[in-house]
Chain A
């Protein structure tokens, strides 16, 4: 069965960076793109970007350009999302989510990683 297992909660200070992981299993990792979506406490969903695990190409939302880096390791079927220059507004649960049709919706989601940015 498809599983996306994300790394554990993080606490960071403003200005720091955080790197989250999302390990995929149960399907051909390089055949499905992966999205990153975040959700601030009590707020809605915010799309951050998408990566093609086969080619490594990615697109991020303009809001995060320059601060977000998405990478992948095909040997471990893991995608990573690094967010730099953290501020308090980046406190959120970050989800990875599989894309079944390339540049489309998200059918399987990770359990989420809580990132808390606080001095």
Chain B
């Protein structure tokens, strides 16, 4: 089973700043099968990024994903008030489709 470790656990930033979220895998997996989701309180997760770097439909271009092998990054170039939420990475392509434990992005 691939274990995903996200860091930091909590990130405190101000609107307008740049956010960098990390997701590290316990072993390398093929073809960048890594997705990122955003979840706000009381809501279902929302797909942001798939294939490590492809933005999902209607996702603003301030969100970008990068990485390969075991190290992946979600970057939010300029934080908007609505971006403060919890972010999860997920490995897919082989069972089990594990999630990271999440990074909470909070307003400083």
> Which residues from chain A sit less than 8 Å from chain B, CB to CB?
35, 37, 44-47, 50, 59, 61-63, 95, 97, 103-107, 109-112
Bound together, the chains give a CA A97 to CA B95 distance in angstroms of: 16
CB distance from B107 to the nearest CB of A (A): 19
Q: How many residues of B contact A (CB 8 A)?
A: 24
Beta-carbon contact of B101 and A107 below 8 Å: no
Tell me which of B47, B90, B96, B99 contacts A107 (CB under 8 A): B47
Across-interface contacts of B100 in A (CB, < 8 A): 44
Q: Which chain A residue has the least Cβ–Cβ distance from B6?
A: A44
Across-interface contacts of A104 in B (CB, < 8 A): 33, 50, 92-93
Tell me which of B92, B98, B101 contacts A105 (CB under 8 A): B92
CB distance from A64 to the nearest CB of B (A): 10
Whether A44 touches B88, Cβ cut-off 8 Å, given contacts A62-B96, A103-B93, is yes
**CB-defined A-B contacts under 8 Å, sample of 14:** A37-B99, A44-B102, A45-B45, A45-B99, A47-B90, A50-B95, A62-B96, A95-B45, A97-B44, A104-B50, A104-B92, A106-B45, A107-B57, A109-B45
